[in-house]
Each structure stands twice: as structure tokens, then as C-alpha cells.
Amino acid sequence: MEDARRFANKIWNATRFVLMNLTDYNADQFADRTAEGPDSVEYDLPERWILSRVQRTSEETNRALEDFRIAEAAQGLYHFIWNDICDWYIELAKARLQDPSKAAERWKIQGTLATALDAAMRLLHPFMPFLTEELWQQLPKPQGAPQSIMITLYPIPDPRYVDDASEASMALVQKVVTTIRMLRTEKSVPSIQRPRVILNVADDYKKTILDGYRHLVLEQAKLGDLVVRRTGEALQGTVATGLAGDVEVILQLEAPADSAAERSKLEKDRAKLDKDRDHLAKKLANPQFSNVRLRLCWRRTEPAWLRSKRP
């Protein structure tokens, strides 16, 4: 229940952000400009990626529902909305919507936000009908659109928007950004600091991708500088390293690590793990707990005909 409440709140806040940035958006104009498909619009990577993810999710959800895999469909939509739309695309759109140099691209970002959220609400409607109806009603739509989400078409994949290359490129950018964020957290680097990061890349193809989209890494990881290289000399000074797949991420720290603070943090982590271990050992040593577990395992594996005869 708590998780569902957080999910509903996440959707509500995401929609509120989108609506705040669609005050000057023209849905009819966007529909006319994109009528011939994505090739007629020079989308940037985030837009190509999220529109491709919309098609993937529509296909996966339709297939799961046709096979009566309801839980799988619901779980896929949960991750698509929470991770792809809220955690990534909206965050990618925020900075560009506020950037005056991106004014000419504003309509593309607005239209993509509206399109992705519209599709998400229609896909989610069978699972959360009241919330999705309320939010869908507020989204700007072209003239002639149905008056209720209940009588719209359920999203059908459009193969023109499926983009394997963009999804692969975005996955690489996401891995690198996630690793940098993890290193910043581990080393307690404050968000106001803009450190320098060096990426040692295994092949030329990935180097080309990260060079081409370095502005996204700089923006999302809050960096001051980013160097992408194939190989290089070992760095002098204090660094933190991690791996994003086969990409080595090197975070340069402004000051030497505080060994006392690091030791204190590790000791706290160890104390927590010790406590968890002792708690689990105590439960496993309790014969009553072990017997309950054995009965549950048997009930899961016993034949259906025998289970049906039990009171």
C-alpha cells in the first residue's frame, strides 16, 4: 500500500511538472509537424530514446495482457513510468527547457513529454483508472481527441519510432551517470561541487558515443569537466574509481579522503551487517520458525490435487 501510494504521488508530481511547462505548447501544431514520423523531426538522443521506450513498453504490455500475465504487465509499466519517464526523461528535459539556447528545440521537448505521458496514462488506465482519467483529462490534446480516456485506443506500437541505436547509446550514458553518482555518494562529494571525471573507454565506438553526449553526462552527474579517453597515465592525487560495464570511471577529488571519517562509515556499515546476521541466525535457530518455513515450502511444491483436498 505504501509503495502504491508513492507511485501514485510520483505520477501526480510528474504530470504537474509537465503541465507547468506546456502553457505555450500547441498540440495541433506538434501533431502536424510529426505526422510523417520521427525522420521528419531532428530529435535529440533523449527524445529518440523515450519515444522508442514508449513503443517497447506498449508492445510488451499488449503481449503480457494478451497472455493474461497481468502482474508482469503492471510491473513493466511501473518501471517504465518511475524509471524511464520520471527519473530520467523528465530530469533530462528540465535543464533543456530552462536553457535559452534550446528555445528552438522547446516544442520538441514539450511534445515528447506530452506524448510519453499520454501513452503512459492510457497504458496504465486498466490498473489505475481514476488517477489516469483525472490526469489524462488535463493533458493538452489535438482537436477531435476523445473526451475520456476510457474511449481512446489502447496504445499500439509504432515501428517507425523504435530505435535500437538510441536505446543502446542512452543505456551507456545512464550506466556512466549512475556510477558517477554512486562514487559521489560514497565519497560524500557535495552537490554544489563540480568535480572532474575521466572515463577510460574500452573501444572507439563507445568513446564516440560518450564524446557525442558528454553534455548529458556533465549535466546529469553535475560535473565541472569530463575527459573521455581510450587509455592514459595513472592520475596523481586522490581519486575514486568505479566501473560502468567495461568503462572505467575515475572521479578526481578536490581534497584527500578523510581516513577517520571513512573508517567510521565502514565500521557503521559493518555493525549493521553484523546485527542483520545475528538477527537472521537467531530466527534460523528457532525450531518453530524452521518448521513454519518447511511447511510453506511443502505447500508450494505439493501436487495441486492434494492441496485442493486440504481444509
pTM for the structure as a whole: 0.81
What's the rounded Cα separation, in Å, for the pair 51 and 46? 9
Predicted confidence at residue 52, as pLDDT, reads 97
What are 194-252's pLDDT values in tens digits?
999 999 998 899 999 999 999 999 999 999 999 999 877 777 677 888 999 999 999 99
Element (DSSP H or E) covering residue 14: helix 2-20
Output the DSSP codes for 219-249: HHHT-SEEEEES--PPPPS-EEEEEETTEEE
pLDDT at residue number 136:
97
CB 176 within 8 A of CB 251: no
Of 58-67, 125-134, 231-240, 266-275, the poorest mean pLDDT is in 231-240
